[in-house]
Amino acid sequence: MNFLSQAIVQAPAPDWTAVLALPIIDNQDSLVSLGLVKAPLRSYPAYFHQGIPNALSDCYVRRSVLFRLYKAARLLPIGVELVVLDGWRPLSVQQYLFDSLFAAINAHSVHHSESELLNRTRHIIAPPSTDSLAPSSHLTGGAVDVTLCDAEGLFLDMGTEFDEISPLSYSGAFEVIDKPSARQAEVIENRRLLHSVMRQAGFTNLPSAWWHFDYGNQSWAWCANKPEAKFGLIELLSLRQRWLNNVRDEGEFR
């Protein structure tokens, strides 16, 4: 058995109070587009294709995150490719996803308190936050949602859909099956493969979501036992905003 087939040890849920208390010293790494990436790395902006309001038609990550995604992709065996489903997202998308999931859980959890509903929701979607001291992970450009596909672009079987609300979405969920079926055994190997290459590239995984990985943000710092995060809140500037900044900078040099 090589490192690509190591069993996934189910990690405990993050201590979110401790996570969001970690200091951030942003290294000013820029956001970059994944629109022109090449195999074995692919980009498929899932929320845009699902018609989520204000979802971007491209995926963006911090530049150093892209380098690490390529590192992970190049560790994959021939015929398997890494697919980025989402990276940096606007606050409005984060709000929509959180509100939609909270409402769905609330509709079938009439006996749960609001704090319990919040906790269940954040297993999949973090509360929207533009707090510079505690931003939502996807608003930092350091969080990515990924999966695997074959050389023809068909997604590999990961056991659940991306963003599925299910105990089976936990990264190590299939590892506890004593006698897996042929399909379950395939899922186990696919998850191990994804988990292994992403960890080798320096990412950490959200235990409740096999698809979610972090680098540089507070979640990564907490999971990797780092004293501080490298990435804080970042904004994808529109052309108008960039022009306004250009004019301002031009005036400063006169």
Instruction: Cite the annotated binding site for Zn(2+) by residue number.
Output: 138, 145, 212
Let me know: does 201 contact 68? Beta carbons within 8 Å.
yes
Take residue 40 and report the two structure tokens written for it. Answer: 């074995």
Cα gap 123→55, rounded to integer Å? 21
Helix (H, G, I), strand (E, B) or coil at 82: strand
Q: What Cα–Cα distance (Å) separates residue 209 from each residue in 54, 112, 145, 169?
A: 23, 22, 9, 5
CA torsion sign for 229, 230, 234, 236 is negative
Cα gap 104→109, rounded to integer Å? 9
Q: Which residues does the annotation place in the binding site?
A: 138, 145, 212
Let me know: does 174 contact 191? Beta carbons within 8 Å.
yes
Take residue 46 and report the two structure tokens written for it. Answer: 């899932």
In a 10 Å sphere around its CB, with 0-12 CB exposed, 13-18 middle and 19+ buried, how is residue 142 labelled?
buried
Cα gap 102→122, rounded to integer Å? 9
